[in-house]
């Protein structure tokens, strides 16, 4: 490796370690609101975005179904775990099953649904794949919205009162959920990094680059894609379970078109080509979304004469990012290092190819 490339790797590792330390010590460093609302949400959205970026970076498939899968896990868990409590009005099937069993079934069920979705979509590529996964999202949204027996428009509430024993009380101890989310995020990240180096992962990347060649080499391309999709569904289901524990409620609004597109926006802002982009993008999006409300930018819109609210600002920021740097923030980072690399010049002797005529 060239000098700059090694430096980049070390810098990235150092930054990663630093961020991890900050994240672990967050309850001490920042206030409770930041830990409970911003950072936990960043972790949850980051895990979902990671499932999306895993598929896009290593599978070459951009999926809009991750939010739906996240929501499906949440709805399954909510329906199974809640029961009619004396003082609360929750909706759904109200099965009242054991929380641990429900947790396992929710994750398992979502992964199975992900495998089915993947099996159907695996033969399509590129933009067709995007549209088919968007259709899944539509199906899930209308299903939970209109089949009122499993949710209805108002959704299911009170879910975080029914956490499995080994997880403990989520409602009163807010740091607990933060650390669990942090652990899950690290585990998912580590798992993906591991998987992409296994034969399966390498085959997947091969399929991403040259599906026809891989097919002729004997690999079952649709099967690999389906399995990758199922894996991403598994990750998304973890995010979904964490989401309902964090929010305590889940409703069709959580998997609507807007939320689905927001997850894509998060992944694009972070960078569709690199896993770390998931958390970077989540952080940037959530912080901007949170703080842009009461800022001077909305007044700026009025003075310029355009009018509108912070949604226009978010749309403009997103537009700017897509036009200027479609690889997102991580892509920007990579390009910066590439820039440095260019100015550095070659640092290895390179063999100059001899013109054909001179060889004789």
Partner 1 sequence: MTERLRHVDLRRLVPRLVVAGLVGFALLYVFVLATPPPEVGGNWRTTNFGSATDDWQSFFKTLLNGLTSAGLLFIVASGFSLIFGLMRVVNMAHGSFYLLGGYVAYEIQQRMTGQGFTVLGGEVNSWEWVLPALVAALSIAVVGLVVQQLFLRWNQGQELRQALITIAISVIVADQVIAHFNGGIAATVTWPGWSAKLIELPLLGFQYSLQRLIVLAFGVAVGVGLWGWLYRTRTGMVIRAGVDDRPMTSALGVNIQLTFAIAFVVGSALAAFGGVVGASQGTIAPGQDGQWLLNSLVVVIIGGMGSLLGAVAGSLLYGLVFAFSAVYLPTTGDNCCTQYSIVVTFMLLALVLAFRPQGLFGKVA
Partner 2 sequence: MSHLTRRWKLLLPFGVIAVAASIVISTSLAASQAREVRVAIMTDCKGAFGFGYEPDIGGAQAAFAQYAGGKAKNPKKPSAGMTGIKVGSTSVKIVGYGCGDDTVPTAVKETRRLMEQLKADVMIGPLSGDEAVSVANYAKTHPTKTFVIGTAGSQDPTLQIAPKNVFRYHGDGAQWNAGIGEIAYKKLGWRNAAIVMDDYSFGWTSGAGIIADFCAIGGKITKRVFPPLGTTDYASYIQQLPGPDQIDGYFWVVGGTGTGASLTAFEQANGALKPSQHIGNLFFAFLGADKVVAPKVVGSYVGGFGTGPGLKTKQAKAYEAVVAKHYPGLNGGNYADGFVYNYYNAAWAFIRGLQSSAGQLGAKLQASMPKTNASGYEVSDNGIVKLDGNRQAIQDQYPLQIVKNADGSVGTVVVGYVPNVDQSFGGLFKKTSPAPGRTQPPCVKKKLPWQGKIKVVKNGVITNAVIK
CA distance 177 to 330: 28
CA distance 309 to 299: 9
Cβ at position 135, least distance to partner 1 in Å = 5
- Total interface residues for partner 2 by CB under 8 A: 52
252-271: which residues touch partner 1 (CB under 8 A)? 256-258, 261, 264-265, 268
CA distance 298 to 264: 24
Assess 55 for contact with partner 1 (CB under 8 A): no
Cβ at position 289, least distance to partner 1 in Å = 12
CB-wise, 210 or 344, nearer to partner 2? 344
Tokens of residue 301, six digits: 């819109």
Residue 147 burial (CB count, 10 A): 10
Among partner 1, partner 2, none, what binds residue 265 when CB lies within 5 to 8 Å by partner kind? partner 1
The C-alpha torsion from 263 through 267 and 269 to 274, rounded to 10°, is: 170
Tokens of residue 240, six digits: 């979904």
Residue 11 burial (CB count, 10 A): 12
CA distance 196 to 50: 13
Interface segment toward partner 1; rule CB under 8 A; list 106-114, 115-123, 281-289, 339-347: 115-123
Assess 215 for contact with partner 1 (CB under 8 A): no
Collect all residues with Cβ–Cβ distance below 8 Å to 70 and sequence separation of at least 6: 48, 236, 237, 239, 240, 243, 254, 255
Assess 132 for contact with partner 1 (CB under 8 A): yes
CA distance 90 to 84: 7
- With tokens 């995020």, the residue in question is 185
Assess 169 for contact with partner 2 (CB under 8 A): no
CB-wise, 59 or 277, nearer to partner 2? 277
Assess 134 for contact with partner 1 (CB under 8 A): yes
Binding letters toward partner 2, positions 264-303, x by CB under 8 A: --------------------x--xx-xxxxxxxx------
Alpha-carbon distance values, 97 to 100, 206, 248 (Å): 9, 43, 17
CA distance 227 to 221: 10
Contact positions vs partner 2 (CB under 8 A)? 32-33, 36-37, 87-89, 142, 145-146, 148, 152-155, 157-158, 171-172, 247-254, 256, 259, 284, 287-288, 290-297, 309, 311, 317, 320-321, 324-325, 329, 332, 335-336, 339
Contact positions vs partner 1 (CB under 8 A)? 62, 120-121, 123-128, 130-132, 134-135, 138-139, 142-143, 146-148, 256-258, 261, 264-265, 268, 272, 306-309, 311-312, 314-316, 318-319, 322-323, 326
């Amino acid at each position: 490796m060239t000098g700059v490339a090694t430096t980049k790797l070390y810098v990235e590792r150092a930054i990663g370690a630093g961020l991890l330390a900050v994240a672990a010590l967050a309850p001490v460093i920042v206030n409770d609101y930041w830990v409970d609302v911003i950072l936990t949400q960043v972790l949850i959205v980051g895990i979902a975005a990671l499932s999306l970026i895993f598929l896009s970076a290593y599978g070459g498939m951009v999926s809009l179904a991750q939010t739906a899968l996240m929501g499906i896990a949440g709805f399954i868990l909510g329906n199974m775990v809640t029961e009619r409590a004396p003082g609360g009005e929750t909706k759904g099937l109200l099965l009242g099953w054991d929380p641990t069993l429900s947790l396992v079934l929710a994750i398992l069920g979502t992964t199975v649904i992900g495998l089915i979705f993947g099996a159907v979509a695996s033969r399509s590529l590129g933009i067709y794949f995007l549209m088919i996964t968007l259709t899944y999202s539509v199906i899930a949204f209308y299903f939970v919205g209109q089949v009122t027996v499993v949710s209805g428009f108002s959704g299911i509430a009170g879910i975080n009162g029914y956490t499995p024993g080994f997880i403990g009380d989520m409602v009163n101890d807010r740091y607990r959920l933060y650390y669990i989310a942090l652990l899950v995020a690290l585990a998912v990240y580590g798992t993906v990094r591991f998987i992409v180096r296994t034969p399966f992962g390498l085959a997947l990347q091969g399929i991403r680059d040259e599906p026809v060649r891989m097919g002729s080499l004997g690999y079952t391309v649709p099967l690999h894609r389906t399995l990758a999709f199922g894996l991403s569904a598994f990750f998304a289901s973890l995010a979904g379970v964490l989401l309902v524990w964090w929010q305590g409620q889940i409703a069709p609004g959580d998997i609507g078109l807007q939320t689905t597109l927001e997850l894509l926006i998060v992944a694009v802002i972070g960078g569709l080509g690199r896993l770390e982009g998931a958390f970077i993008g989540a952080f940037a999006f959530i912080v901007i979304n949170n703080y842009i409300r009461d800022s001077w930018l909305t007044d700026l819109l009025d003075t310029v004469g355009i009018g509108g609210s912070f949604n226009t600002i978010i749309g403009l920021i997103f537009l700017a990012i897509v036009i200027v740097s479609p690889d997102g923030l991580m892509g920007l980072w990579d390009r910066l290092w590439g820039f440095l690399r260019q100015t550095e010049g070659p640092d290895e002797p390179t063999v100059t190819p001899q013109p054909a005529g001179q060889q004789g």
